[in-house]
Structure 1
Amino acid sequence: MRDLPDHDRLYAALVARDPAYEGVALVGVTSTGIFCRLTCPARKPLARNCRWFDSAQAAMQAGFRACLRCRPQGAQADAHPVIARLTQALAQDPDHRWSEGCLTRMGLDPSTVRRLFRQHFGQSFLQMARAARLRQGMGRLNQGGRMIDAQLDSGFDSASGFRRAFVQLFGHPPHRMTSDADLRADWLDTPLGGMIAIADTQALHLLEFVDRKALPAGLRRLSVMTGGRIGLGRTGITDMTEAALQDYFAGRAGRLQVPVRLAGTAFQTRVWQELQAIPAGQTRSYAQLAAAIGQPSAVRAVAGANGANRLALVVPCHRVIGADGTLTGYAGGLWRKEKLIALEAGYRDLAGISPDKAR
C-alpha cells in the first residue's frame, strides 16, 4: 500500500466526508465486506472496522466489494447519475444548443445541475456545452471559413455572442487570429475535455484545458511575449502533441515527448524541468520538489511556479500533492487531477514500482 495518512487522520476524514481525500484513500469496512469513498453518504462504521486502501483494485484484491451508493471504482464526478447522463449526452451531440429548458424537459432541475457541475468541474453544464460549440466555430475558421459560417457552426444566435465567447477564451476577437502568424492555436480533444495547443514549427508553447479560468490571461501574456504573433491553425508540433496525448490516455506512454518552450524565469524553469522528471505513477510534495532543486526553503515559490505552468500534462504539475497525501489545488480542476492520478497508477504498475515507493 502507498504511504497513506495514518488511521486516525483517515477516520476523521471519513467522519467529516472530507472531499480532499478523493483519489487518495478508500475505506474497507470489515463488518460488511464493502469498500467506499471517504465521502460516502452511508452510515459511518466504527473505527476498528476500517481498513484503508490507495486504490479500488487493492480493496477488491483484499476481498471487499464496491459500494453501490458512492461507486468507488470511478472518479467522484462519475458516481453521480445526473453528471454521467449529461456528460454522455454532450459527448454524443456536442453541436446541440443546450438551454435550461432542455434540462427541464429531461426532468432535471437547472439549479441542481448548475450546482453539481460547478462543484465537480468549476463551471456549469451550459458553459461546458458552449465551449463544445465554440470548438466547431474554431474548426471552420481554421479551414478559412467566413466569420458568419463559424458563428452558425457554433450555434450562436448572434455574431456578437460568438465574438464575446471567443474573446473570453483567447483574449482576442476572431479576426485578430486569422491572419499570418508564427504561432498557431488549435483545439485538441481529450477524454478529460478540450485543450488549446499553441505551437510554432519548433516547439509547443502552451497546452491548457479550455475551461481553466486563467487561460485567457495566459493567452494574453503569451501574445504580448510574442508580439501578437498568434493565429489559428496547427503545425507539425501540434500533430505531435495530439498523438502524444492519445498515447498517454490510451496507456501507451506516461511521458509526453514533445519539444517545448519553457517561457519563464530561471527559477520557474528549474521547477518545470523537475516536474518533467517525475515518472508517471509517482507524486511529490511541494517540499520534496523544493528540495530536489536545491532550495528546500522555497516551498511557496515552488507552489507559485507550479501554478504558473502553461503546459498541462507535458509539464505534469498534477503529480504534486499535499505533504499529508491529500490532493491539493489543480488549475485544471481537482476532478481532473483525481482522474489523472488514477490513470497513472497503471503506468506505475507497468513499471513495477510498488505503491509504497510511488511518493
Structure 2
Amino acid sequence: MTQLDTAPARLSPAEPSVAEPPAASAVARLTTASPLGRIVVEGDGSAITRLEIERAGALSTDGLPDAPDDLTRRAVDQLGEYFSGSRHDIDVPVRLTGTPFQRAIWEGLRAIPFGATRSYGELGRDTGRATAGRAVGGAVGANPVPLIVPCHRVLASDQRITGYSAGDGVPTKVWLLDHEGIAHR
C-alpha cells in the first residue's frame, strides 16, 4: 500500500501525488466532544491521518493521552464550525493510505459538496468500475477520515441509507444527512 498526501479535503479531485512517509513516528492526537459523541483526530505533523467517531461510548484511543499539534487543533476547530453550521467543509490536509482503488473512491468522495449525495453506482462508474458496487461500498467504509472525506454523503440510488461504518452506524449517518439538509429514506 502507498501513502497519499492529499490537498485540503474540499479541493476538486486532481491526480494525487504520492508522498514520502513522514520521518517522525509520533502521532498527534486530539479528542473533542461533538453532537455525535467524542471524536478523536490524529495526524503525523503534516496531515490528518485518522478520524474516529465514538461508538457505543468508546474510542479505540481511550486511555491514551491527547498530544495535539497545530494541525489537529485546526481540524478540531473546523469540525466545531461544521457542527455549529458555520462551515460546510473541513479543509485540512489528509494522508490516506490504501489501495489505488480505495484512493480513487476517496477522491470521488472528496468531490461531493455539502448538502449533495452520490450513489455507490455513480462512484463506481466514475472510477471505471460500474458493476463494482460491493467493492465501492467496501472502499467507502474503509475511509480513515470520515467527515473530512465525506463518506456519509453516499446513498443507494433510491436515496436509501444502506449503512455507515463510523460512529454508531446508521444513526450517525442520519444525523449528518439531516444536519446537511439531505433527503434520505
Same fold (TM over 0.5): yes
Contact map agreement 2:124 2:131 (CA 8 A) in 1: yes
Q: After TM superposition, what 4+ stretches of structure 1 lie above 3 angstroms from structure 2? A: none
Q: Does 1:334 align with 2:163?
A: no
Partner of 1:251: 85
Q: Percent identity?
A: 38
Partner of 1:196: 40
Letter paired with 2:175: K
Alignment partners' CA distance in 2, 1:259 and 1:196? 16
Contact map agreement 2:30 2:40 (CA 8 A) in 1: yes
Contact map agreement 1:188 1:195 (CA 8 A) in 2: yes
Contact map agreement 1:199 1:237 (CA 8 A) in 2: yes
Query: Per residue, is there more helix in 1 or in 2?
Result: 1
Alignment partners' CA distance in 2, 1:206 and 1:273? 16
Alignment partners' CA distance in 2, 1:318 and 1:241? 18
Which ranges of structure 1 fall in alignment gaps of 5 or more residues? 1-179, 220-229, 349-354
Q: Does 1:269 align with 2:113?
A: no
Q: Quick one: higher RCO (CA 8 Å, sep 6+), 1 or 2?
A: 2
Alignment partners' CA distance in 1, 2:70 and 2:45? 6
Alignment partners' CA distance in 2, 1:271 and 1:212? 28
Residue 239 of structure 1: how far off its partner (Å): 0.7
Superposition map of 1:87-166 within 5 A: none
Matched positions, count: 157
Contact map agreement 2:30 2:73 (CA 8 A) in 1: no
Alignment partners' CA distance in 2, 1:211 and 1:316? 18
Contact map agreement 1:190 1:246 (CA 8 A) in 2: yes
2:142 aligns with one of 294, 308, 325: 308
Residue 290 of structure 1: how far off its partner (Å): 0.7
Alignment partners' CA distance in 2, 1:240 and 1:251? 17
CA RMSD of aligned residues (A): 2.6
Superposition map of 1:205-244 within 5 A: 205-211=49-55, 216=60, 232-244=66-78
SS of corresponding position for 1:197: strand
Alignment partners' CA distance in 2, 1:192 and 1:198? 18
SS of corresponding position for 1:261: strand
Residue 322 of structure 1: how far off its partner (Å): 1.5
Partner of 2:128: 294
**Change in 2 beyond 3 A, CA 1:243/1:232:** closer
Alignment partners' CA distance in 2, 1:255 and 1:295? 27
Contact map agreement 2:82 2:90 (CA 8 A) in 1: yes
Contact map agreement 1:330 1:337 (CA 8 A) in 2: yes
Query: Per residue, is there more strand in 1 or in 2?
Result: 2
SS of corresponding position for 2:105: helix
Contact map agreement 1:204 1:259 (CA 8 A) in 2: yes
CA displacement 1:78-130 (0-9 Å, x = unmatched)? xxxxxxxxxxxxxxxxxxxxxxxxxxxxxxxxxxxxxxxxxxxxxxxxxxxxx
Residue 212 of structure 1: how far off its partner (Å): 7.0
CA displacement 1:15-48 (0-9 Å, x = unmatched)? xxxxxxxxxxxxxxxxxxxxxxxxxxxxxxxxxx
Superposition map of 1:30-69 within 5 A: none
CA displacement 1:146-176 (0-9 Å, x = unmatched)? xxxxxxxxxxxxxxxxxxxxxxxxxxxxxxx
1:317 aligns with one of 135, 138, 151: 151
Letter paired with 2:94: V
